[in-house]
Each structure stands twice: as structure tokens, then as C-alpha cells.
Amino acid sequence: MSHLINSEELMALGYTPGRAFGVALRTANKHKHLGKELLLAELANVLAEPDAFATHAVYGKLAKALIEEASIPEDAYIPLRDSGADYAIYGESHIEAGARTQMDVAMQLPVTVAGALMPDAHQGYGLPIGGVLAVNNAVIPYGVGVDIGCRMALSIYDIPGAFFEANQAQFKRELIAQTRFGAGHGFKPHERADHAVLTDAAFGMNPFVADLKDKAWAQLGTSGGGNHFVEFGIIEFAKADEVMGVPAGKYLALLSHSGSRGLGATIAGHYTKLAKELCRLPHEAQNLAYLGLDTEAGQEYWRAMTLAGDYASANHEIIHRKLAAALGAEVVASVENHHNFAWKEAWNGQEVIVHRKGATPAGKGVLGIIPGSMTAPGFLVRGKGEAASINSASHGAGRQMSRTQAIKTISREAMRAQLKQYGVTLVGAGLDEAPMAYKDIHTVMAAQSDLVDVLATFTPRLVRMADDGSRED
């Protein structure tokens, strides 16, 4: 659905994120026929004098929401700092204003210690995607994100690229047979995989988490929807990497991207709601509500988050194990890294909680994978441990179009033409995941050359995504 008036235009009028903000957006969308100029003028008038519009046929609901917000006493909220500390921004010229605004607010939280914005950053909920935030003794559920523990996993095989090219049909059959995609999709009882994560005592931590175990078991080894994928490609090491034990050359590799499915999403929703009840922040910061780690609720979320992260890792392990077995392939090296998580780390001599929402850990010597798009290369990297980035790097190319904009502006024919140009076979995916919806990965990588060293380049060749596009659990 396209909106005549967007969030940035509302904020320019003086609206701040909150319930009334959402009512204003919906009102403008419902009454597009009035025209943008008139709507903007009227929305400004309602904000200035809501009492005068309390019974108005078009703006009455908005006026009442504004009046209700104004009636909440200031001392009901935990105050933000008047100004936030400076933070490092990588690739600033390619980052939208909305992401900057969200990061600015995050830096004003009373618990914030430091922050950084990665070059793939774009606007999200609470902390922007591509945002890194270090805080003192607290955890922010929306600073972690909805897909807790979402990650990349790479398996490098002992199979020459030429063999893959000559036998693509076989690889495509196994890719479809051994993977499962789509919102809510899982395995029937007789199909389910087994894994030690299902015996984790954290599943019994409380009735809420215990009730999620059966769904988690059904979805174990699946990938969901959205931008999640499993793909074969050719990885090239221009020179040998002695630490990994991989000689120079080209190899077939399997790369996967997905997270904790319905388990993580349900945990995120539950504890975000709880955080908002316990941590009343001003409207512009309400999605950054946090839980103190010295509280029962904070400890409970931390344990549930850790479980979801371990579960996400198990999903990848099963996918990679099944495909290696089906192909009869030997894995010569593997790498895994996650984002959408919170870590206890040392920073400037103190222990902090580092939230990386769509950001890759890049401590000194730490391996990571930064994908491009389905037609753009990805990169196997080793972190440099840059303090200004809080030991982080981007988690991908980052979107330059919203899903709605991509669906509206990119044709199926244009997407097919680009896939053909780059020699990529695609199974599934919607137009919202078209390559053109993403930033140029080379520009993103150039903006973070101080953060990571590139060890190898991964070129996608056979990509599997959800048939129903962006739908998620």
C-alpha cells in the first residue's frame, strides 16, 4: 500500500512517534482524495489545536489521540538525555534520514554508553537495522530485533565449480528437496529432525516458552520467508588462508541466511510488550523500551534470547548437514556468524551489552559473511576490531527500496533479465527481494574497509527463497 504522506513528512510537521503518529498516517492514507497539500496543512492545524477538531468527521480520532497523549504527565515517562553522545557512521551519504533519526534517539537513552551505524543501515523499529548500541546493564528486545539470532552460515565443499556447472539440475533438485521455506511452514511429525537444542532446559523456564517447543520442533531446519535464503555459489580465495586451512582456488559453497522462526518472533513480541509496560519511555523512544539485567524480567528475556539464538544455529546446522549428506560432499571449512542479538562485551574497560541489529560481529580476527543480493557477490571477511564501530560491520548490502516500493516499481520481467545477465537460477522469491531493491554491495564494502579484511568472494549461482515473498511468521 503506497502512502501519500510518509513518516518523515509527519515528523517535519512536529509529530513524534506514538499512537497519534500512527493515527495521523492512517488518516492521511484513508483520505488521499483530499490531496497532499491540504492534508499536510490540516494535519499541522490538528497538531496545533487538537481541541478544535475533537468532533471533526475526518480528524476527530486523531485529535482525541493527541489530547490523550498530552494528558499523560511528564513524570510518567523515564526521561531521555537532552542530547546523545556522538557515534560513528559508516557510508553516511547512503543512509536514509529515518535511520539517522532512530539512532539519534537511541543515543539519548539513559542506559546508552556508545553506538555506531553501519553502511547498510535503514529504518526499522526502535533501533535501525544496521544499528549497533552498547548499553549499561540492560537489554532492549527491539534492539535485538524480531528474528532473534538471525545468521549467516557457510559450508565450503570439496567439489570443483566445474562439476556444479555441469550438474546444476541435480543440485537444484536437492536444494528444493532438503529445504523448507514460507511463513508458518514446518515439517510433519514423521519428517522432523532431532537436535540437542530441543533438550535445552530453557524450554522449561516458564509456561510461555514451554508452549513454544512443539512449534519450534516442527520448524527446526526450515528457513521461513522474507529475505531468508539457501543458495549454492562459487567461492574464490585469491590466496590461501592458513588460519582456515583453505588453499587458493575456487570451490562450491553453500550459504544460508535465516533465524529463529516462530520461536524468536513470539519471544520478541512477548518481551517487547513487557518492556513497554515496565519501562515507560517518551513516544519517540517507546520501541527502545529496555529491561534491566538486574531484574527478573531482564534475566528471563536474556535466557529466552539465548535459547532462540541456539535454535537459529541448529536450523542452519540441520540444513547444511542434510545437503552435504544428499550430495555426498565433504565440508572443508565452515563459517557462521549471527546478528539480531545482544552480547556481553568489554568496551573501554567496562562490561556493556552490545546490541547488533542487522550488524555483523567484527572483533579482531573474527570471521563473518556479508552477502550482497541474489545477483551480487558476498564476502567472507575477518574483523579488524575497530573500536569506533564497537567491533562491528554491516550484515549485508542493505535495502535501498522498501518492500512496498520494490513491488510497485520493479517488474517481473526486469528481475528475470537481471538474473539471466548474472547467470543466476532462482527458485521462489517475490519482487520485494529483487536485486535492484538493495544497495550496491561494493559501495557498502568500500565504506567499511577499516572494519574488515576480505578473505574470499562468494558468487551466487542457484538461489532458493520463499515462494510467498516477504511473508514471515
Beta strands in 279-395 (DSSP E): 291-292, 331-338, 341-347, 350-357, 359-361, 367-370, 378-383, 392-394
CB 344 within 8 A of CB 353: yes
Q: Which three cell numbers stand for residue 233?
A: 555459489
d(CA 135, CA 84): 13
d(CA 50, CA 63): 5
Place of cell 527478573: 296
CB 121 within 8 A of CB 398: yes
Q: Give 336's contacts (C-beta < 8 A, 6+ positions apart).
A: 151, 152, 153, 154, 313, 316
Question: Phi, psi (5° rounding) for residue 169?
Answer: -60, -40
Nearest alpha carbon to residue 236 among 460, 2, 72, 459:
459
**304 in helix, strand or coil?**
helix
DSSP state, residue 274: H
Chain Cα centroid distance, residue 256:
14
DSSP state, residue 436: G
Q: Annotated catalytic residue: which of 122, 185, 257, 395?
A: 395
d(CA 289, CA 271): 10
Q: Which three cell numbers stand for residue 82?
A: 537532552
d(CA 430, CA 236): 29
CB 262 within 8 A of CB 100: no
d(CA 259, CA 132): 19
Distance set, CA 269 to CA 109, 150, 151, 291 (Å): 21, 16, 19, 14
Is 395 among the catalytic positions? yes
Give the dihedral sign, CA 204/209/210/216: negative
Alpha-carbon torsion, ordered 336, 338, 344, 347, to 10 deg: 90
CB 106 within 8 A of CB 289: no
Enzyme catalytic residues: 395
